[in-house]
Amino acid sequence: MGRDAIGLLRDLDGTRSRDEVTRAWSARIGARKAAELLQHFTRLGLLETDGPAAAEKRLTRPNPVTIQLTLYRPHRLTRALAAVGTLAGSRITRLLYALLLVVGVCLAATHFPDMARSLLDPSPGMWWHILLAMIVVNVCHEFGHATAVAALGGHPRRMGVALLYYVCPAFFCDVSSSWRLPRRARSVVALAGVMVNAGVASLAALLAAADLAGPAEFWWRLVLANLFTVAINLIPFLRLDGYLLLLAFVDEPFVRPRAMADARSWLSQHLWRQSPQPRQFTRGWSIPYGLLAMVFPALLITFMLLVLAPLLFGFGWPGAAIWTLATLLALARLADGILRVARPGVSAVPDHAHRP
């Protein structure tokens, strides 16, 4: 970047309006150049605006095996979400939520046999009900992230579905603007989604134990589904909420790809006798973390393929074709990882990357 671009970006720190910065820089470099720089930075997504960026596409590919489909841009709801987040962060609300969690944990512990027996029912209809319920809960999970970032001073940019994300589709919420927030606020944003799942699990345990709304087996299964979602999301080796929490803890971006590059270099050095590459993430736990970050996606994808096999095969040849395609994609990604270990040296973080 040139000095003018750097100086202009530094002045866009939130202390002055866009018009004030534009007038100041128009006097220095001319109105036309100042306007061109602002438009360029807006197109890149570096600047917060009242609406979505004009050049932002609905369908994007953050990596070769993942497609993100933007379904909703919640910028118009930012103020409403901020108000909800402020209410959720009040002392009385936090006390009630903590009480709900304590009650849920106690009920799940005292009714563990009932919860375990709910998994023994082979009825497929009940599992479809759980699947539909979890779709609704996971949408609320993403709105939890959006609410937290809006309440803490950021702007949720877009929400949608990530296709082929660890084999299964998954909802997402773009909270890139949380990087402007302090570390503690970023931790809250990272945990906001699983807090929704934990609350739903506790509420479901209360309904199951009290036998108030339909079959207790359904509610116990909903408890287990949400607990499983919380556990998976908090694993820091996947690009999920636990990873965002880790980023807030170390206060550095691109931790996972940098650590994986270090791990690939270490493997290449010890397996193929390649020359060592410069470390990209200078922490003592970089290589162990990178190795686990390489292994966990393979384990999760294998688990998901095994779980989905009976369900998809029940649809006949179309389901079998979908499962086979997913398996081939997983094997192709595994082969790509092996080749990257054998041929290290590619930068883990592109120079043009502008969003963690």
| pLDDT tens readout for residues 185-212 | 999 999 999 999 999 999 999 999 988 7
Token pair recorded at residue 284: 């003592």
Query: What does the pLDDT average to over 148-169?
Result: 85
Where residue 354 falls among pLDDT bands split at 50, 70, 90? very low
Most confident of 41-55, 82-96, 333-347: 82-96
Is 356 a residue whose pLDDT tops 70? no
Single residue among 210, 225, 250 that ends a domain in this structure: 250
| Shared-domain flag, residues 154 and 235 | yes
| Shared-domain flag, residues 186 and 238 | yes
Q: How far apart are CA 173 and CA 157, in angstroms?
A: 8
pLDDT at 349: 47
| Shared-domain flag, residues 77 and 171 | yes
Q: How far apart are CA 186 and CA 148, in angstroms?
A: 9
Where residue 348 falls among pLDDT bands split at 50, 70, 90? very low
Q: Is there a contact between 102 and 161 (Cβ–Cβ < 8 Å)?
A: no
Token pair recorded at residue 93: 């609300």
Summarised one tens digit per residue, pLDDT across range 289-309 is 999 998 898 888 888 888 888
pLDDT at 341: 65
| Shared-domain flag, residues 294 and 329 | yes
For the chain, the domain total comes to 3
pLDDT at 351: 37
Q: How far apart are CA 285 and CA 299, in angstroms?
A: 21
Q: How far apart are CA 300 and CA 167, in angstroms?
A: 9
Domain residue limits at 334:
255-342
Is 145 a residue whose pLDDT tops 80? yes
| Shared-domain flag, residues 264 and 236 | no
Summarised one tens digit per residue, pLDDT across range 216-231 is 888 999 999 999 999 9
Where residue 323 falls among pLDDT bands split at 50, 70, 90? confident
Q: What is the pTM of this model?
A: 0.80
